[in-house]
Amino acid sequence: MAPSTLNPLPTSRVTIEGKPAATITDFAPMVNVPPFGMCSSLANPTVAAATAAAFGVLTPMPCVPVTTPWKPGAPKTTLGGKPALTAGSTCNCAWGGVIQLVMPGAIFTQSS
């Protein structure tokens, strides 16, 4: 329900503009992928329980993502043997959501 910030760990030891570069394996919930505010998916057991307790009125609960590896990643750029993440890469949440990388942390600027 709300944007969040990807937190790649500096395990690849590669930085771009002073920040750790991310790969398709940077998908650990709460470590790399922080919560997104509230979850409204009935597939999430906490949302389903809260909704049942509210007599069927959808009751969003705090987001705790359960994620899969990112895809597709960069086809030719690898960091430590793993594809690098690029804008448009996605990963899935077990509760039915799709997380998409929309704003990469590095923006190439060329000087004249």
Angstrom distance (rounded) from CA 110 to CA 41: 43
Angstrom CA distances, 56 to 41, 42, 47, 97, stand at 13, 11, 11, 21
Which DSSP category does 2 fall into?
-
Please check whether residue 44 is in contact with residue 74, taking contact to mean a CB–CB distance below 8 angstroms: no
Assessment of whether the complete model's pTM goes beyond 0.75? yes
**What pLDDT is recorded for position 107?**
62
Q: What is the pLDDT of residues 85-111, one digit of tens each?
A: 988 899 999 999 899 988 776 666 555
Q: How confident is the prediction along the chain (112 residues), in pLDDT tens digits per residue?
A: 678 888 888 776 787 777 888 899 999 999 999 998 899 999 999 999 999 999 999 999 999 999 999 999 888 988 888 899 988 899 999 999 899 988 776 666 555 5
